[in-house]
Amino acid sequence: MKQTKYTIFIIENNVSDRQFLKKILVEMEYDFAIKDFATGKEAMSEMNIRPPDLVLLNLYLPDQDGFFLLESFHQKGLVDLPVLLVSSFDKEDDKKKGFDRGAIDFINKPIVLEDVKARVACQLRFKRMMDDQKWANQKTNEGIKMLYKELENQNKKLLQLDHLKDDFVGSVSHELRTPLAIMRESISQIRDELFGEVPDQQKRYLDKALINMDRLRNIIDNLLDISKIEKGKLEIYKEKVDLNKLVEEIVSDFAVKAKAKGLILEGAVHGTAVYALVDPEKTIQVFNNLIGNALKFTEKGSIEITVQEEEDFIQCKVKDTGKGIAQKDLHKLFDKFQQVGRKHGPGEKGTGLGLAIAKGIIELHGGNIHVESTEGEGTAFFFSFQKYIEESGSCMSFRSALISAIKQFNQLSVIKVDIRNLKDVDAFKGRITKSLFRKSDRVIIEEQHVFILLPDTEKEMCSVVLSRIKGSHDADSLGECIVSFPIDGLTCDELINGLERTIEGENHEKNISGRR
């Protein structure tokens, strides 16, 4: 074993005792260096250069007594230095005084060879053990510090990589759009014969180019969406949506494609509205992705879409009679870039992101999605959305509009109109639609009230909008009130309270002017 060589000091003024001790130590089989001193002074000056690992110290030296030396060792910080006192211990309290000052053991004079050997060996073994333990602890501490540092570095690197990836997806997507726009519009203009007549056959190929450029744009959009979903930055704006009507519209969009493939496409419509609290755009995206998928993998039979109102949620289903998915592939179906068991015609390839996006959107809505499939028989996707509940619906829309106003440091105004006394509600609704010019404006129509949410609008402006909406005399019978964020309150509850307090029975004109 390769270890540091120990040094032992013998401090003994008696020549023959000193020689004897030295001889005993040399005979021991340990590999250590021995230094012997006749005076305390000599030993101390050597001690300052390199302290020993063990000291044999005579208690009564001519220049300094042993107790004094023991104290000096302590003062020099050599607290752990093992010292064996060598003495005849004539005085009764010598041993106690020695122990008190840090001596670790004693060798009685006259010196007995076996006694010295045993005690020195014992101390050296102990010293070795202590040193090894100290070494191991020190190395472990250093190592843990180093690992911690490594972990921090790795973490930093991962974060950087993650940002890099996000930035990359974002900027690459944008960089691709301009050239793609130029290509698409160039071909589109040739196709539309802006520069002269184009034979039909050429038109067909230009159409192919256009379709594939739109596909490319779709891929870019999907990449951006998935990167937003992963970052948690895809924002959803929930409102009251009739899912049955939504499905009906989507089904009619896909009707031509389904017919061309000879497939029956059914969106089960029972005429009754099924209200969900969802982001309509994102929900359309979910249905589009799932129905698009079903169309791709179904050669004959049907695709059936159902919307079922359950007690606590709305269950949707997109079921096809397509080729199905192997059991072993089902678990990775919703992973990114998974093209599970795909074999379909040209121009039909997807991005491998559709299902991942659908899942992301559904989960952002607080719902879930799962799949059941039998190979050769078909596949069914089941997914759920939150039910729209009358009391909370307007509140939720309100809340999400408020959240986005807060996020964008914008204002938000809400007009609440009492329509209970209104004769022609439909005409009124029509006027609301005509009076709102911006896509960001939202109208929530309930049985007794209409809420108009106007983002980025000052309270002053609301009366202008209101006068546009009221238009005819019949509006006089309305009761209305306006609250604005941030001037009337900073939380949804504060604003709703404001709306509820002011609407009951008050003269609306006074109400508005009073609030200006």
Partner 1 sequence: MAFKKILVIDDNDDDLLMITECLVEADPSTEVITALDGEEGIRISIQERPEVVIIDTTLPGIDGFETCRRIRSGDAEVMIIVMTGQVNAVNAGKAREAGTDEYCVKTSDCEDLLNALRDVTSP
Partner 2 sequence: MKRILVVDDEPDVIDLVKNRLEANRYKVISATDGDEGLIKAQKEKPDLVIMDILMPNMMGGEAVRQLRSDESTKHIPIIFLTAVTSRTPNGDGGVNVDGQFYTALPKPFKPEKLLFEIKRLIGDG
- Give the binding site for partner 1 (CB under 8 A): 1-2, 132-133, 135-137, 139-140, 142-144, 146-147, 149-150, 153-154
Tokens found for residue 197: 């007549």
Stretch that binds partner 2, among 158-166, 210-218, 322-330, 499-507 (CB under 8 A): 210-218
Please say which residue, 51 or 170, places its beta carbon nearer to partner 2: 170
Q: What is the DSSP string of 250-310?
A: HHHHHHHHHHHTT-EEEE---SS--EEEE-HHHHHHHHHHHHHHHHHH-SSSEEEEEEEE-
Pair 508, 478: CB distance under 8 Å? yes
Least distance from C-beta 47 to partner 1, angstroms?
19
Residue 465 CB-half CA count within 13 A: 28
β-partners of residue 455 are 412
β-partners of residue 33 are 7
Q: How far apart are CA 460 and CA 327, in angstroms?
A: 61
**Counting contacts by CB under 8 A, is residue 433 touching partner 2?**
no
Q: What is the DSSP string of 395-407?
A: HHHHHHHHHHHHH
Q: What does 182 interact with, of partner 2, partner 1, none (CB < 5 to 8 A by kind)? A: partner 2
Least distance from C-beta 411 to partner 2, angstroms?
7
Q: What are phi and psi of 264, to 5 degrees?
A: -90, 125
Q: How many residues bind partner 2 (CB under 8 A)?
A: 37
Least distance from C-beta 403 to partner 2, angstroms?
11
Q: How far apart are CA 452 and CA 415, in angstroms?
A: 5
Q: Which of 44, 206, 213, 443 binds partner 2 (CB under 8 A)?
A: 213
Please say which residue, 212 or 339, places its beta carbon nearer to partner 2: 212
Q: How far is CA 263 from CA 37, 255, 355, 372, 376, in A?
A: 107, 9, 22, 21, 16
Least distance from C-beta 34 to partner 1, angstroms?
20
The amino acid at 218: N
Please say which residue, 2 or 439, places its beta carbon nearer to partner 1: 2
CB atoms within 10 A of CB 112: 12
Please say which residue, 132 or 192, places its beta carbon nearer to partner 1: 132
**Counting contacts by CB under 8 A, is residue 194 touching partner 2?**
yes
Least distance from C-beta 142 to partner 1, angstroms?
7
Q: What does 225 interact with, of partner 1, partner 2, none (CB < 5 to 8 A by kind)? A: partner 2
Q: Find all residues with CB under 8 Å of 493, minimum gap 6, and list them.
A: none
Least distance from C-beta 238 to partner 2, angstroms?
12
Q: How far apart are CA 474 and CA 431, in angstroms?
A: 12
- Of the candidates 285, 306, 268, 462, the one whose C-alpha atom is nearest the C-alpha of residue 382 is 306
Q: What does 133 interact with, of partner 2, partner 1, none (CB < 5 to 8 A by kind)? A: partner 1
Please say which residue, 78 or 219, places its beta carbon nearer to partner 2: 219
Please say which residue, 57 or 412, places its beta carbon nearer to partner 2: 412
What is the footprint of partner 2 within residues 456-475 (CB under 8 A)?
Answer: 456-457
Q: What is the DSSP string of 411-460?
A: -EEEEEEE-TT-S-HHHHHHHHHHH---TT-EEEE-SSEEEEEEET--HH
Place of tokens 């305390």: 40
Please say which residue, 33 or 136, places its beta carbon nearer to partner 1: 136
Q: What does 490 interact with, of partner 2, partner 1, none (CB < 5 to 8 A by kind)? A: none
β-partners of residue 443 are 452
Pair 32, 5: CB distance under 8 Å? yes
**Counting contacts by CB under 8 A, is residue 166 touching partner 2?**
no
Q: What does 461 interact with, of partner 1, partner 2, none (CB < 5 to 8 A by kind)? A: none
**Counting contacts by CB under 8 A, is residue 173 touching partner 2?**
yes
Please say which residue, 28 or 210, places its beta carbon nearer to partner 2: 210
Q: What does 126 interact with, of partner 2, partner 1, none (CB < 5 to 8 A by kind)? A: none
Q: How far apart are CA 153 and CA 25, in angstroms?
A: 52
Helix axes 425-435 and 459-470, enclosed angle (nearest 10): 130
Task: Show the binding pattern over residues 391-420: x = contacts partner 2 (CB under 8 A), - = does not.
Answer: -------------x---x-xx---------
- Of the candidates 93, 91, 98, the one whose C-alpha atom is nearest the C-alpha of residue 55 is 98
Please say which residue, 31 or 426, places its beta carbon nearer to partner 1: 31
Place of tokens 């309150």: 489
Binding site for partner 2 (CB under 8 A): 173-175, 177-178, 180-186, 188-189, 192, 194, 213-214, 217, 220-221, 224-225, 235, 237, 280-281, 404, 408, 410-411, 438-440, 455-457
